[in-house]
Structure 1
Amino acid sequence: MHYKRILLKLSGEALMGDRPYGIDPKRLAEYAKEIKQVVDRGIEVAIVIGGGNIFRGVAGASNGMDRVQGDHMGMLATCINGLALQSALEDEGLHTRLQTALEIKEVAEPYIKRKAIRHLEKRRVVIFGAGTGNPYFTTDTAAVLRAIEINADAILKGTRVDGVYDKDPEKNTDAVKFETISFKEVIEKGLKVMDMTAFTLSEENKLPIIVFDMNTNGNLLKLISGENIGTIVDVK
Structure 2
Amino acid sequence: MQPHINLPAPYAPHAGLDAAFSACPLIAILRGVTPADAAEHGRALYEAGFRIVEVPLNSPQPFDSIAAIRRALPADAIVGAGTVLHSSFVAQVKAAGGDLIVMPHSDADVVRAAKAQGLACAPGVATPNEAFIALKNGADVLKMFPAEQLGPHVVKAWRAVIAAAVPLVPVGGISPDNMGPFLTAGANGFGLGSALYTPGQSAAVTASHAKAFVNGLRIARGEKK
Q: With structure 2 as the length reference, what TM-score do the two structures score? A: 0.37
Q: Which has the higher helix share?
A: 2
Q: Which has the higher strand share?
A: 1
Q: With structure 1 as the length reference, what TM-score do the two structures score? A: 0.36
